Structure 1
Amino acid sequence: MERTEIVNVIQKKIFGLALTVGAASFLMAQQKINISGNVKDANGGVGYASVTFKNQQNAQLSDAVLADVNGNYKLELAPGNYEVSIEAVDYKKFTKIISIQKAGAIAPFIIVSDGKANLNNTTDIQGVVITATSNKPYKVELDKKTYDPSQDIVSKGGSLQDVLSNVPSVSVDTDGTVSMRGSSNVKFLINGKPSSLLGIDDGANALQSIPADQIEKIEVITNPSSKFEASGTSGILNIILKKSKKVGFNGSVTGSLGYFPRTNLNANLSWRKNKMTWFLNGGGGYSENRSKNDAETTYHNITLPTVTDPLSTPRDIPTYQLQNSLNKSYNNNYNVNAGFVYEISEKTSFNLSGLIRSFDGENKETLNTYNDYYRYNTVTQIWNPGSSFGQRISNGTNNNLAFQGDIGLDHKIDDNGQNLSVSLSLQRNKSNNYSTINETEDSQFLLTDNTARKSVNKTIIGKADYELPIGEKSKLEAGYRLDVNNNNYDNTVDSTSPNELILNYNNTTDYREMFNAFYVQFRSKVGKLGYQLGLRDELSNVKINYSNLSPSDIPIDKTKNYNNIFPSIFLSYDVTKDNQILINYSKRIDRPRSFFMVPFPNYSNSQNIFAGNIDLNPSYVDSYEVGYSIQRKKITINPTLYYRHAVDDTKMLVYRPDERENVFYTKPINLGNDDRYGLDLNFTYDPFAWLKLMGSLDLFGYKTTGIAYYNAKDKFGADKTGSMDFTGDGFSTRARLNSTFKLDKTLSVQLQGFYRGAQKTANQNSEAMYALNLGASKTIWKGNGTLNFNIQDIFNTRSREAFSFNEDYTRRNYMQWQPRQFSVSLTYRFKQGEKVEQPKRKKDINSNATGGDEQQGPM
């Protein structure tokens, strides 16, 4: 079945399910009656109180409503007996059972503030309120921080990339590269597992294909425990997708329009009845983008060969080059996430889900190149200065289709919190990239290249997790995980030019990685001191088979084996009820990305070529953190001091194999040590009812050691050894501030700004970068709808400029991935049912379960 056919089938099924579920919801609604009421205290109506009606006979008939500014509310309920509870800030908890038999007004609920007399002795009134705390967008736990994007107005109608741009401790570069505390070695998880949704090498395209409206929360794990896989030296980002826990039919639909042209339509639907819960999230959209990249290179120490020099070669010697490129892309994406959870018994549940993502696009890149050089005249035997203007136009298409199926079983062994969870995930991701490249020089046809890059990834993940509570405050956890990854790369190039490297560009590589992992960790608390000790063992096996059309001394296959132990230690001390000190340590591994180990050049630009390194090895990191958590009613502060020491760190070596040509190669290598240290400060502050602030500040230092050597030809054609010095140190900053202004009960405005300070290394200086975003949100249709408007990069300043230098050249590079954009989105919410609490396990004061759904944390 073709991809287009698959997409059409998906769209039809989504529409059919929406109609079916909507019809069922409509029939249920016919049995209900309209009621109204009021919540008040001794001084009058209490605004924005949350009133919950829990049906005593059938939980599916329960409902909840938010009172208006005067404490009035309306809703539809089926006749019956209800337990009523109300939530409002600074009021006591009280519940009462009432009977509703006919439509109309019911007696008002009278509530009291904290510290006043309890209304239990009142006989002539109904109702009271429970104490509620404000919803914080950022929460600190023992081994992770959780970000709730529901209050993020700026990213409404956007994508995962937009949401990540607002997450504390996380930075998104102009090209879509995600980093944490200055390092881009971030491990992504979807619902606790690596996912085909993020593709193999899709980069920013993958981040943009996941709608912001489908994200429930993001877990930021800067120093993961032994329960998590050891990959990702800078940490883990766990993306939790929405799964409703409410009875009956619930859902929302969000549509957005924007410029550069962007359209999106996404739906989040769920239906819970008896022991079965169904959910379906899906949608699609179209987007356009423009990016530009300017590179200016000046070559130093120009010495021309002499005529009598036997090594003289009549070719050009570059002195200066200016390149300007403009890339326009046109993209379509569709995605569906569907599944169900079935409660076999009170202690056992079964879950099954599937993900499908489709992405395709077209792009056109125009690269203009101006060269100054010396050209050898064979008649006069003189090197004469000259110049040329070249143009390179690339027209490409790309498509990606990803599938993922998950099955799991959760069993509650006893009522004391002993649990067993097993799961299996099957994933497949296929990407195809094609391009036709035409080059001219001084308006004369030069060459035509046709390239095709194909990749297929197949992954199997099986895991089991066991939890055993010991006493009231201790717990033992253990588990096993199997990962099998198969990546296939197939690259082909044909050219009208007699390029001697073309045969190397035609190659295939099969990359297979399998690792078995075992972990055990114990957590407990003694007085005010909590601790968690963990140990993880990972046995890795990597096999690489590759071939190309050119004779080569590279071996046909390569096998690598690793067996590593990864310890972790987490300590917490409760200074007071709301103040806590957190100390932790973990050892991590940075495994090379599979395409980094493909030993053949990746041909996409004849003057800037990337080639993998078959000898690339993992690098290892020791990570330390000391944090302090302060939580008050209006303010939370979480300063963290951190230090990371990496050995055999992976660096990108950029070099010229032949100094007589202006062709640059990029190659990943293991080199020296890398140290990072700093202060990561995150905070939320609600000074007034109409103003909320959330900010982060990262003050960090870095020190790198190492010198890379490579073989090259000098300007006379003789063999030489080149070098690049990575040794350097410096200090920089990153800062972000979100300010949300509540203008009235239905209208909020948000300003978000960020700043990234300049950085310097031995061979590169990066300039500072800053941007300001704006968002506005308006609640409409009696709370069932929300209208959002946002502008990304108001002043069009989000760009990157860097200066690279070596002994014989200096290069300036400027890049802007996305110019200023704006969008408008509209969300409609279906009638919400009562939230159903999941069966609670035995309370663990140090519990840090991760995943937000049926999973008990990734392994």
Structure 2
Amino acid sequence: MRKITLTLSFTIIVVIAYSQFPAGRPGGEGMGGQNINIGHFYGKLVDAKTNKPIVDATVQLIGNKFDTVTKKMKEVILATVLAKPNGDFSLENLPVFGTFKLSATAIGYKALSQNLSFGIKFPAGGATQDPNFMQQMLGMVDKDLGNLKMESESNDLGNVTVSAPIKQQFELGIDRKIFNVDKNLESTGQTATEVMKNIPSINVDIDGNVTLRNATPTIFIDDRPTTLTLDQIPADIIDKIEIITNPSAKYDASGGNAGIINIILKKNKKIGYNGGFRTGADSYGKFNGGGDFNVRQGKINAFVNFSYNQRKFKSNGTTDQNNFFNPPSNVYSTQDAVNNGEFKFIRGGFDYLADNRNTITIAGNYVKGQFNSNTTLNSDSTISSIYAANNQGISNADRSFENKGAQLGYKHNFAKNGENLTADLNYNASTNYSNSNNNIYTYFPNTSTQKQPPLLQQTLTDGSQKYYTIQSDYENPISDSKKFEAGVRAAIRDFGNNSTQLKYNNNTGNYDKLPGISNNYKFNDQVYAAYVNYKGKINKLGYQIGLRAESSSYTGTLLNVNGADSSNFSVKYPVSLFPSAFLTYKLTDKQDVQINYSRRVNRPNFFQLIPFPNYSNYPVSVSVGNPVLNPEFTNSMELSYNNAYKPKANFLATAYFKYTTNLITQYIYRGKDQLNPNTSDSIYYSTYINANSGISYGLELTNNMPVTKWWDLLLNLNLFNSKINANNINANNGNGEVALATNSILSYFAKINNNFKLGKGYSLQISGNYQSKTVLPQSNNGGGGGPFNQVQTTAQGYLLPRWSMDAAIRKDWTWKKGQSGSLTLGMNDIFRTNYQESFSEQTGLFNQDNRRISNPQILRLTFSYRFGKFDASLFKRKNLKSTPDTGSMDMMGGGN
């Protein structure tokens, strides 16, 4: 009966459609006529090698539609479905005339593209001339495509080489390394700073300062710059971290001689809902907790993450400083510091899928924290080897910060596969406040008698920062082997800092303001950029060339200092060009070679520019910015070899070279004590200055491999040398000018990460790292870090070797209805060996040995619970066309 009904309906439809066209021609391929929507394609997606069903694949059908405005045919999306768990898919209510393009995508697989048609053609003279045409046509509108095989991702140079649907902890590619955070046991319940400790190429010192190949990288969140520091980002909300050592022209040129650390936050887009919560504590008695929830239904994908972390830092160390004064002196200091605090983090947003081509994203985050630090500094001073005095410094500081961020994004997918246009508006605003008291007591040797009245100092500081970015990117795959990219970007930053220095007056019993060293300072920084990228492939040779143009300006304003209303300082940098080039050659299916080049810039940050002293580490040193710092420019080259020598295994070797001009480096000089002007003693000031140049080069080897079915091993070795040419800088030793010598040390650091599957839901992770004697980092331009930074990094100095080991064990449970749980126990610096020891000197002024340790042997216990339902029945997408009955017709292709 159904067949008879369809035959009758089909006949009536064809006759009506046929009669609508002159000379009896129905609308067909390339025509602007009406079409018949009773077609049906169906099939199954399977793995090309295993023939197993592919889970969570998206299937899309593209066809032609007549545009009544342009009077031309255009491609439109006819249908989009999600394949069932067994790989089956079905596309119904389709036009029966014309040709179509079917595409299928799934995580870990190459995109599948196939041209289709129902093969229906009208007989010469019209359908009525062939009495069997209707019956033949009916049998052709229901078409089984069979098993469509999809291939897993190949090991192309620019892509991730570990491609299994189940994520590995490390995924290695020639242009980047990807670290999947949820596979890292040791960072559970911590922050992004702790995550970095296990990532190849990255070094983290005991204060949490991060360097990438011995330079400070730029931090991105979800492909955009951020004002958050690494210790303000909870590890449990991070999905993965991408390390891009030599970014192309597509990326912001800022970052100087380091690359980009791109933090991708969790955002589940599976259909259905999922969520979880976590809680934990450490051996310091500090608590952490949080949760997340994500739901996708219909046109809305919504998500929220929240976290609460209590933090405690303990640090102790010694400093031995020899001063080459006349007469010479020595100061030996011991320091103990404790920092307690907490911060709260919440992030939420949603994607609105307006239709198959347009998506709008709105997201926001809020972070707030407060910390209290207490530091005790005891110093013994000798002059000409004679014990002169004992100084006791007691510091207390209350600090707080607040960060607000918002993002508005739009993405339009054109009918052409891979062609898209995105636009983003980002806003970040942060404030900080601190109230610190620094009291110094000086005693006669071996007595409790004060040698002079105590020096009681107070510093009140409040600052603000606003960061706006507007960005738009366009991608167009010209062909299967060629792709064009272009984009524009504007970034505006407003900084403000108000610092009031107070000193206790022993005569009045009040704190008096010191106007000479108090300040109210702000500046505005603007960067405008545009870029183009072109990718292509000729046989086994792939290439990408790009060019980025950036224009920047800086304006600083000094407000109400020393009776002056204001004074301005501004500079406008000319347009700078930043080319990039990548050449890749595929030796075999498993081996690739790549050479690349880029030019980048590192502009001075707020703290490097502000020209006022910071007395938080007085009297050991006083930091002060330099408002006339120039940007540094870096030319980088890399030569890489990648070999995926067996499944889930990679060997990656990269030789790199970087040459930097106007290198920003820290510099120490001797000057008058402005805080205590009555004394004849001078103190050391630490500032920033442009050295002539800096060179760094090295060889990095990374091997990621499964040793057995239950043991995965990652090895990373980075052999490098850094050389600073600072002979343009003079050090005033009180008797003349002395040029600084060139500094160079051949160094290396190594990392090992072992992951063991112990069975019955247990897993174990053991990691270790070793760093040899190393030149102090060339520059420090942000990148996050902890609350302490005591080492005086100058153009001359080095770090002594250090090593440490961390471990964690986890038990996983899986229950019914999508529920799971885990319990993780971990400890950092198991053997209490992670001492940071350094030597620094300034020719003609001083030399200094420093030794410190921070937060060793902390035990952490964290429990995590997850729930969710990934159900395709929740996918309630509006049909692209109104559901037709057997007698309805519409224009070919439906809506878009």
How high is the TM-score relative to the length of structure 2?
0.73
Instruction: Write the distance in 2 (CA, Å) between the matches of 1:626 and 1:557.
Output: 42
Instruction: Write the distance in 2 (CA, Å) between the matches of 1:482 and 1:838.
Output: 38
Q: By how many angstroms is 1:51 displaced?
A: 9.6
Q: Which runs of 5+ in 1 are unaligned?
A: 1-45, 66-86, 90-127, 199-205, 305-317, 375-383, 715-719, 840-859
In 2, are the aligned partners of 1:243 and 1:270 still within 8 Å (CA)? yes
Tell me which residue corresponds to 2:703.
683
- Aligned pair in 2 of structure 1 residues 64, 723: CA closer, same or farther (>3 Å)? farther
Structure 2 residue 305 is the aligned partner of structure 1 residue 281: yes
Q: By how many angstroms is 1:514 displaced?
A: 0.8
Q: By how many angstroms is 1:464 displaced?
A: 0.8
Tell me which residue corresponds to 2:804.
771
Equivalence map 1:639-788=2 (5 Å): 639-657=653-671, 661=681, 663-707=683-727, 709=729, 712=732, 714=734, 720-723=735-738, 725-760=740-775, 763-782=796-815, 784-788=820-824
In 1, are the aligned partners of 2:360 and 2:411 still within 8 Å (CA)? yes
Tell me which residue corresponds to 2:376.
366
Structure 1 letter corresponding to 2:601: I
Q: By how many angstroms is 1:291 displaced?
A: 1.3
Tell me which residue corresponds to 1:162.
194
Instruction: Write the distance in 1 (CA, Å) between the matches of 2:797 and 2:565.
Output: 34
Instruction: Write the distance in 2 (CA, Å) between the matches of 1:633 and 1:423.
Output: 38
In 2, are the aligned partners of 1:653 and 1:724 still within 8 Å (CA)? no
Instruction: Write the distance in 2 (CA, Å) between the matches of 1:518 and 1:285.
Output: 40
Instruction: Write the distance in 1 (CA, Å) between the matches of 2:649 and 2:196.
Output: 23
Instruction: Write the distance in 1 (CA, Å) between the matches of 2:556 and 2:296.
Output: 47
In 1, are the aligned partners of 2:671 and 2:685 still within 8 Å (CA)? yes
Structure 2 residue 222 is the aligned partner of structure 1 residue 191: yes
Tell me which residue corresponds to 1:353.
363
Structure 2 residue 623 is the aligned partner of structure 1 residue 587: no
Secondary structure at 2:832's aligned position in 1? coil
Q: By how many angstroms is 1:551 displaced?
A: 7.7
Tell me which residue corresponds to 2:546.
534
In 2, are the aligned partners of 1:511 and 1:545 still within 8 Å (CA)? yes
Secondary structure at 1:505's aligned position in 2? coil
- Aligned pair in 2 of structure 1 residues 496, 295: CA closer, same or farther (>3 Å)? same
- Which of 510, 517, 528 is the aligned partner of 1:505? 517
C-alpha RMSD of the superposition: 3.3
- Which of 780, 799, 814 is the aligned partner of 2:835? 799
Tell me which residue corresponds to 2:336.
326
In 2, are the aligned partners of 1:447 and 1:497 still within 8 Å (CA)? no
Structure 2 letter corresponding to 1:254: R
- Aligned pair in 2 of structure 1 residues 703, 130: CA closer, same or farther (>3 Å)? closer
- Which of 130, 136, 144 is the aligned partner of 2:176? 144
Structure 2 letter corresponding to 1:600: F
Secondary structure at 1:261's aligned position in 2? coil
Q: By how many angstroms is 1:469 displaced?
A: 1.5
Q: By how many angstroms is 1:417 displaced?
A: 2.3
Instruction: Write the distance in 2 (CA, Å) between the matches of 1:53 and 1:180.
Output: 36
Equivalence map 1:362-761=2 (5 Å): 362-373=372-383, 385-442=386-443, 443=448, 444=450, 445-496=453-504, 502-547=514-559, 549-550=561-562, 556-607=568-619, 608-631=621-644, 632-657=646-671, 661=681, 663-707=683-727, 709=729, 712=732, 714=734, 720-723=735-738, 725-760=740-775
Structure 2 residue 267 is the aligned partner of structure 1 residue 252: no
Q: By how many angstroms is 1:814 displaced?
A: 1.4
Q: What whole-Å deviation, never above 9, does each CA across 1:103-123 have from its counterpart, x for those lacking one?
A: xxxxxxxxxxxxxxxxxxxxx
Secondary structure at 1:831's aligned position in 2? strand
> Structure 1 residues 647-656 or 534-543, which shifts more?
647-656
> Structure 1 residues 672-681 or 444-453, which shifts more?
444-453
Instruction: Write the distance in 2 (CA, Å) between the matches of 1:158 and 1:359.
Output: 15
Secondary structure at 1:790's aligned position in 2? strand
Q: By how many angstroms is 1:596 displaced?
A: 0.9
Structure 2 letter corresponding to 1:396: A
- Number of paired residues? 697
Secondary structure at 1:229's aligned position in 2? coil
Q: By how many angstroms is 1:831 displaced?
A: 2.4
In 2, are the aligned partners of 1:710 and 1:721 still within 8 Å (CA)? no
In 2, are the aligned partners of 1:158 and 1:212 still within 8 Å (CA)? yes
Q: By how many angstroms is 1:557 displaced?
A: 2.5
Q: By how many angstroms is 1:818 displaced?
A: 2.4
In 2, are the aligned partners of 1:211 and 1:266 still within 8 Å (CA)? no
Tell me which residue corresponds to 1:118.
none
Q: By how many angstroms is 1:260 displaced?
A: 2.4
In 2, are the aligned partners of 1:157 and 1:213 still within 8 Å (CA)? yes
Instruction: Write the distance in 1 (CA, Å) between the matches of 2:273 and 2:664.
Output: 50
Q: What whole-Å deviation, never above 9, does each CA across 1:259-307 have from its counterpart, x for those lacking one?
A: 223311121210111111000011112121111232111234x645xxx
- Aligned pair in 2 of structure 1 residues 53, 531: CA closer, same or farther (>3 Å)? closer
Instruction: Write the distance in 1 (CA, Å) between the matches of 2:192 and 2:639.
Output: 29
Structure 2 residue 267 is the aligned partner of structure 1 residue 243: yes
Q: By how many angstroms is 1:723 displaced?
A: 3.5
Instruction: Write the distance in 2 (CA, Å) between the matches of 1:599 and 1:635.
Output: 51
Q: Which runs of 5+ in 2 are unaligned?
A: 1-49, 60-78, 88-105, 109-148, 153-163, 674-679, 777-794, 878-896
Aligned residues with identical type, % of pairs: 27
In 1, are the aligned partners of 2:312 and 2:338 still within 8 Å (CA)? yes
> Structure 1 residues 167-176 or 542-551, which shifts more?
542-551
Equivalence map 1:291-330=2 (5 Å): 291-300=315-324, 303-304=326-327, 319-330=329-340
Equivalence map 1:3-152=2 (5 Å): 135-141=167-173, 143-152=175-184
Structure 2 residue 843 is the aligned partner of structure 1 residue 833: no
- Which of 203, 212, 231 is the aligned partner of 1:171? 203
Structure 2 residue 347 is the aligned partner of structure 1 residue 337: yes
